[in-house]
């Protein structure tokens, strides 16, 4: 039978777990931004929160589980303003301008995380993957509906192709770091996206 002191220590550890888990997720998100997914190990994540790499396994089964938590949190950061805007703004040119601004801000401020969320990354967590697929679908649909409303002469295939290309161009800051250095305010990428969406067929 555990002593009273041991029971108190166990209770304190249980209370710390949600806080520690949140710390790990936040540290992992930062490291994924700085080093990339494959450049970040469990030991580095543990060091960032003051614990050993193996101690992380008390909270997460593996790095995929950490990634799933990071994506779930990051997705919510992207999804919340997107959802709110959809309630206020019907599909059309104004919503499309907002989507471009929102997307470029996310790509500039959190390029690696935005790339993970919108770049088709999958995890071993079915719930997270289902949410990501739903978000991808809804996000691309909002772009497509707004572009179709702004440019009714485009076919559905042309709308889809232009949206896919525009979303790919938005991640240039992540894929090509020198572009981010040349384009600090995002104006170059914004003009490229605008040309893709509004340029002549």
pLDDT in tens, 62-113: 888 888 888 877 777 777 888 888 888 888 888 899 988 888 888 777 776 7
Task: Give all domains of the chain, ordered by start, each with its CATH number.
Answer: 1-60 (1.10.10.60), 67-201 (1.10.357)
pLDDT at 6 (0 to 100): 42
| Confidence tier at 159 by pLDDT (50, 70, 90) | very high
The answer to whether 66 touches 87, Cβ cutoff 8 Å, is no
Residues 6+ apart with CB under 8 A from 198: 150, 151
φ, ψ for residue 37 (rounded to 5)? -60, -50
Q: What is the pTM of this model?
A: 0.69
The answer to whether 60 touches 53, Cβ cutoff 8 Å, is no
Mean pLDDT of 143-160: 93
Burial 155-164 (b: 16+ CB within 10 A, else e): eeeebbebbe
- Taking the C-alpha atoms of residue 84 and residue 89, their distance in angstroms, rounded to an integer, is 9
């Amino acid at each position: 039978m555990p002593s009273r002191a041991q029971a108190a220590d166990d209770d304190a550890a249980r209370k710390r777990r949600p806080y520690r888990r949140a710390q790990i997720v936040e540290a992992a998100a930062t490291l994924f931004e700085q080093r990339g997914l494959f450049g970040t190990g469990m030991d580095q994540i543990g060091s960032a929160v003051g614990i050993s790499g193996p101690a992380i396994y008390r909270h997460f089964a593996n790095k995929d589980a950490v990634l799933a938590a990071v994506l779930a949190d990051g997705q919510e950061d992207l999804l919340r303003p997107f959802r709110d805007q959809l309630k206020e703004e019907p599909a059309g040119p104004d919503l499309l301008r907002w989507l471009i601004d929102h997307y470029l801000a996310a790509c500039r401020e959190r390029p690696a995380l935005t790339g993970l969320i919108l770049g088709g990354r999958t995890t071993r967590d079915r719930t997270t993957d289902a949410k990501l697929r739903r978000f991808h679908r809804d996000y691309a649909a909002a772009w497509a509906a707004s572009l179709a409303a702004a440019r009714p002469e485009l076919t559905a295939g042309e709308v889809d192709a232009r949206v896919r290309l525009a979303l790919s161009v938005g991640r240039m800051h992540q894929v090509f770091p020198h572009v981010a250095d040349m384009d600090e305010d995002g104006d170059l990428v914004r003009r490229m996206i605008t040309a893709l969406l509004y340029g002549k067929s």
